[in-house]
Amino acid sequence: MTYTRWTLRTEHTSYTVRLSPDGPSALDWSHRTHFITPADAAPAEYLPYGLRPFTGSELIAGDERGVWWEFDGAEHTEGTLRLAFTDGKTGLRTVLCYETVPGTDVILRWTEFTADGELRLERLDSAAVNIAVTGAARLTYLCGQWSQEFQLTHLDLERGTFAIGSLQGAPGHSYAPWLAVRGGDAAYGIALEWSGNWHITAEAEPGGAVRIRAGRVPHEGAVLLAAGETLATPRVACAFSADGLDGLSRVWHRYERRLTGDRLHRTRKVLYNSWEATGFDVDAAGQLELARTAADIGAELFVVDDGWFTGRADDTGGLGDWYPDPAAFPDGFDRFVADVRALGLDFGLWVEPEAVSPGSRLHAEHPEWVYRVEGRPSRLVRNQLLLDLGRADVQEFVLTTLDRLLGTYDIGYLKWDMNRPPTERGRPGAGPADLDAEHVAGYLRVLDHLRTAHPDVTVEGCAGGGGRIEHATIARTDVVWPSDNTAPIDRLRIQHGFLHAHAPHVMSSWVTDAPGILDPRPRSLAFRFVNALCGVLGIGADLRAWTPGQRAEAARWIACYKEVRDVVHLGEARLLGSPDDTSCGVQYDHGDRTVVAALSTGRLDGAPLLTGRPDRLRLRGLDPAARYRDTATGAEYGGAHLLHHGLPFAWSADHDADLVVLTRR
Ligand code: DGJ
């Protein structure tokens, strides 16, 4: 062993790990402890129960539940670090793994376990991180429920434990697997890359530190590590920004652009999805009528959502029998797809591969494919059951079904939905299994297969809205659907939270007719468009009912979006204000262009908010000495003016949103 201290460097940060007890850590505040062990007081990277018995450990393993380990060597290269620890008694070897992500301020951490004999892992967190704080720990998290996902929420934690997580076999709608801690101007973030059960805890410790732990939560309460096998935990991405939550959001955006890889440069087409217009009432004539109107206003892609397959008159049947309903498509589905394509539109289809309706043919043929607990009734959620995607035969069914659909029909876009969590989660007769991890592995395997076997197909990730959004999904899909709530001000709040954790190029957003669920304040069509074009623009309204005037306005907005979408998807995004302010917006900078999506959240009765004065959004990150020209009005602003005085918006009863494109002169 040559080193007892290792440093990893990212774009603007460094991360140092020191092996105790060779020297104090920068976060160590005392070398004397009372009533606890030094390991309990230490700002430890990762410690087993046994060594850290009182203040929270990351690993609980073996029959005695305690592991006492010895350092067993380090491997350090530029950008990677592996620290090994072994426990002679349990035969467990644990490797703490670190990897920097080039071009970002993100470090990935995970842990690998290997044992000589079978070992029970009861707690197997991915990592812990220690953050110095002054006073209370200022936590920010994203919480909600179905249709209210990604509500940005703050909490000052002075002492005690804060915990978020999900046992729904998916990240869930209640909390995103994401947490930020603010200290002074800086912000630290962590995000768990895992689409199954999870937890993240924050413990405010005495002496000015908060300790975050994150990991998966085994459905069975423990994972059995087989002799000689290596088990790797999910990765935790750790991010840092010196510019607070807003800067941290840009670190996450950059990281997600990297996750998207080369596919980032594919144009994200303007989508029309018929779900909110037709629901389950899907037939060729009705869909084509919508497709024609969508094409007329400039949409580039037509997606048929739920309801296209046999037995799917409503949500009580059909799932699993993935064949187009011949009654709905009397001339054949391929003919229907060709008709949509003849309008110049790409074609997309909705599927819910893990789902099965109790009355379907699939369920009659394979009742054993569903999660079940012998002797217990299987509960329905949304009238459906869940396939055990951890099973190899179920994976094969899903792969061949998707291959068949994508091979038979000219499909360029697939929306993968999932609308129920596992309840009676068991696999009768199969012996011990790690059902949660096996489901995740099956899900990711199918997504990986789609990328390699059907590289031209764009994939949208959806789970009853934003129920399964995390980095493993984002790395394997092109866009995700943050919420089923498309009402204007509700959506603004959801997107404001979403964009703190995720990038604009993955945020699918539709213009619809939906009234507010949580906030019923009416908003203009312009507001709906400006809000939706903050990510990847789609339309989900019933265009048949739109007036010629509305269609013409929509066509103008869509044309405008096409002009700026590269800036929105490839640029640096800055969140301006919040939905609690009277004006709120997003600024995107790419090359010499700055796009500002501005939205009025105030009253719409015509009364100005400030007598005789416009509201203003102060822009950020511009060159104070440069000049910027509004490409629509020709108005010119100094950079310093935009930064310190702001871009003016004179909101009125019929002007509640704007899209400003500035060019640096
Ligand atoms: C839930 C999704 O979030 C919606 O967009 C829609 O696809 C429905 N499922 C269809 O059942």
Kindly give the interhelix angle for 488-501 and 525-532, rounded to the nearest 10 degrees. Answer: 10
Domain boundary, last residue among 261, 280, 295 = 261
**Length, in residues, of the chain:** 665
Residue 345, φ and ψ in degrees, nearest 5: -105, 145
Boundaries of domain holding 239: 4-261
Residue tagged 């009863």 (tokens): 653
Whether residue 286 is found in the same domain as residue 147: no
Predicted pLDDT of residue 149 = 98
Whether residue 397 is found in the same domain as residue 531: yes
CA–CA distance, 59 with 47 (Å, rounded to integer): 7
Whether residue 501 is found in the same domain as residue 402: yes
Is 652 a member of any domain? yes
Predicted pLDDT of residue 551 = 98
Q: How many domains does the chain have?
A: 3
Is 257 a member of any domain? yes
Contact 659, 595 (CB under 8 A): yes
Domain boundary, last residue among 240, 261, 282 = 261
Is 158 a member of any domain? yes
State the closest ligand 1 atom to the C-alpha of 481, by its place in the atom list counted from 1: 3
Q: 352 CB under 6 A from ligand 1?
A: no
CATH code, domain carrying 315:
3.20.20.70
Whether residue 187 is found in the same domain as residue 121: yes
Is 642 a member of any domain? yes
Residue tagged 């044992």 (tokens): 115
Closest Cα to atom 5, ligand 1: which residue? 484
Whether residue 193 is found in the same domain as residue 156: yes
Whether residue 645 is found in the same domain as residue 596: yes
Is 485 a member of any domain? yes
Domain boundary, last residue among 242, 261, 280 = 261
> Which residues, other chains included, contact 534 with Cβ-Cβ below 8 Å and sequence gap of 6+?
495, 499, 504, 507, 509, 568, 586, 597
Q: 481 CB under 6 A from ligand 1?
A: yes
Q: 309 CB under 6 A from ligand 1?
A: no
Is 45 a member of any domain? yes
State the closest ligand 1 atom to the C-alpha of 315, by its place in the atom list counted from 1: 11
Distance in Å, CA 306 to ligand 1 centroid: 7
State the closest ligand 1 atom to the C-alpha of 465, by its place in the atom list counted from 1: 3
CA angle 141, 145, 147 (to 5 degrees): 115
CA–CA distance, 208 with 184 (Å, rounded to integer): 13
Distance in Å, CA 279 to ligand 1 centroid: 9
Q: 484 CB under 6 A from ligand 1?
A: yes
Contact 469, 191 (CB under 8 A): no
Distance in Å, CA 610 to ligand 1 centroid: 41
State the closest ligand 1 atom to the C-alpha of 462, by its place in the atom list counted from 1: 3
Q: 464 CB under 6 A from ligand 1?
A: yes
Whether residue 192 is found in the same domain as residue 90: yes
Whether residue 401 is found in the same domain as residue 481: yes
Q: 417 CB under 6 A from ligand 1?
A: yes
pLDDT along the chain (665 residues), means of 10: 81 92 60 87 94 96 95 97 97 98 98 97 97 94 98 97 98 98 94 98 91 97 97 98 97 98 98 98 98 98 98 98 98 98 98 98 98 97 98 98 98 98 96 96 98 98 98 98 97 98 98 92 95 98 98 98 98 97 95 98 63 86 98 98 96 92 97
Ligand 1 pocket test: which of 414, 484, 485 has the largest number of ligand atoms within 8 Å of its C-beta? 484
Is 357 a member of any domain? no
Q: What pLDDT digit, counting tens, does each position of 400-446 carry?
A: 999 999 999 999 999 999 999 999 999 999 988 999 999 999 999 99
Ligand 1 pocket test: which of 304, 357, 384, 462 has the largest number of ligand atoms within 8 Å of its C-beta? 462
How many whole angstroms from its chain centre is CA 477? 11
State the closest ligand 1 atom to the C-alpha of 305, by its place in the atom list counted from 1: 7
Predicted pLDDT of residue 607 = 54
CATH code, domain carrying 245:
2.70.98.60
Predicted pLDDT of residue 1 = 44
Whether residue 24 is found in the same domain as residue 145: yes
Q: 354 CB under 6 A from ligand 1?
A: no
Is 619 a member of any domain? yes
H-helix or E-strand containing 342?
A: helix 333-342
